[in-house]
Amino acid sequence: MKTWTGILLMIILAVATLSVTSTAKTTNESQQQLNIDESSSQAVAAEASHIDRMNDAVSSNKEMTQFQADDVSVAPENKDVRVYPVSIEGSGYIYNGLVVEANGKKREFSDWRAEGGSYKPEVHELDLNGDGKKEIVVLYSEGHGTGIYLGQAHILDPVSLEVMKMQALDEIVNEHVESRVTIGSDQINIDITVDGVPAESSHVEKGAGDSLYNDKLQFGRVTYHSVENGKLVVSTSGAYGEGVYAGDLTFSYVYENGEWRANDLKYNTEVYEEEYYESFD
């Protein structure tokens, strides 16, 4: 009887030991999995933090290197007025967006696309309308090539740096200019009036081949802006065909009824020699 009792006691002890061991193993495995999960989460967090730091570093570096001192244009009238690119494309000749700074204020114009290098933008501070406040004038080229110069100009309010309304070139031409291009057998005749006053007619020798000519002068493919004697002056060439020009329409802007409008329009005939076209290359 004692022998069977001893055997039964041993079986009970063995089962209890196995149960404890299994429980401990399960607990240990759960703890190991928890440690692994925590380690993985920490690794992901560390990696994300590292990527963020890398992105911050790249962004910071980009800000520091996006333009150089040569890309900054300063107003000759006031050193505290300047313009520079938001970013630069290619070899530094295309400015994607411009930033205007004026007397402690700054505004970004991301939709202004300008040329850099020797064609980089100009900025001026002057009282264009005689109201005692100096407007900000920004001039730049959108592109140039053989027989093409796409000049642009903006006038900014000196307080808000908002772009002020300016009469568009197409509207100016439609309102003030009438022209007619007549194609003869060997000559092209160009007649033009500005505000009803006839300007000097042009007679151009017809070129060889079947060139296409306009029925009236087209303006806008060669347009320059400049600041002269306290005024914003525009000179735009009239094309009687693709890349061939007869003369220049010039005018300045005056402020009337909340808008800058064309004033003092004149048309002058010019002889556009071949080297003129080459000068845009």
**pLDDT tens-digit map of 27-49:** 444 444 434 344 433 333 333 43
Sheet of strand 105-115: strand arrangement: 73-75, 78-89, 94-102, 105-115
Give the tens place of pLDDT for each residue, 177-213.
999 999 998 899 999 999 999 998 999 988 776 678 9
What integer pLDDT is reported at residue 136 of this predicted model?
98
Contact 119, 152 (CB under 8 A): no
Name, in order, each residue with C-beta under 8 angstroms of 119's C-beta and a sequence gap of 6 or more: 93, 140, 141, 144
d(CA 5, CA 269): 130
pLDDT attached to residue 148: 94
Name the more confident of 266 and 147: 266
- Residue range 97-124, pLDDT digits in tens: 999 999 999 999 999 999 999 999 999 9
State the pLDDT confidence band at 20, using cuts at 50, 70 and 90.
Answer: very low
* pLDDT score at 139: 98
Q: Which of 86-95, 200-209, 223-232 holds the top average pLDDT?
A: 223-232
Please report the pLDDT score of residue 208 as a whole number: 72
User: Residue 207: what pLDDT?
Assistant: 76
Asked if residue 155 has pLDDT above 60, the reply is: yes
Report residue 67's pLDDT band, with 50, 70 and 90 as the boundaries: low
Contacting residues for 206 by C-beta, under 8 A, at least 6 apart: 183, 184, 185, 186, 187, 188
Residue 219: per-residue pLDDT: 98
Strand 122-126 to 73-75 pairing: unpaired
Please indicate whether residue 139 or residue 67 has the higher confidence score (pLDDT): 139
With cut-offs at 50, 70 and 90, classify the pLDDT of residue 268: very high
Q: How confident is the model at residue 69 (pLDDT cuts 50, 70, 90)?
A: confident
Count of other CB atoms within 10 angstroms of residue 190: 23
92: left (phi over 0), alpha (psi -120 to 50) or beta: left
pTM of the model as a whole: 0.72
- Three-state DSSP at 210 gives coil
Q: Quick one: which of 258, 263, 262, 261 has its CA closest to 162?
A: 258
Assigned token pair, 157 = 């309010």
**Residue 254 has which token pair?**
């005056």
If you ran DSSP here, which 8-state letter would residue 163 be given?
B
Within 10 A of 26 (CB to CB), how many other CB atoms are there? 10
Per the model's pLDDT, the better-predicted residue between 138 and 6 turns out to be 138
Q: What percent of the chain has pLDDT over 90?
A: 62
Tokens (6 digits) for 173: 């031409």
Q: Which residues pair with 250 in a beta bridge?
A: 235, 266
**Which pLDDT score, from 0 to 100, does residue 273 have?**
45
Work out the average pLDDT over 152-160.
96
User: In whole angstroms, what separates CA 126 from the centre of its chain?
Assistant: 24
Say whether pLDDT at 72 is over 80: yes
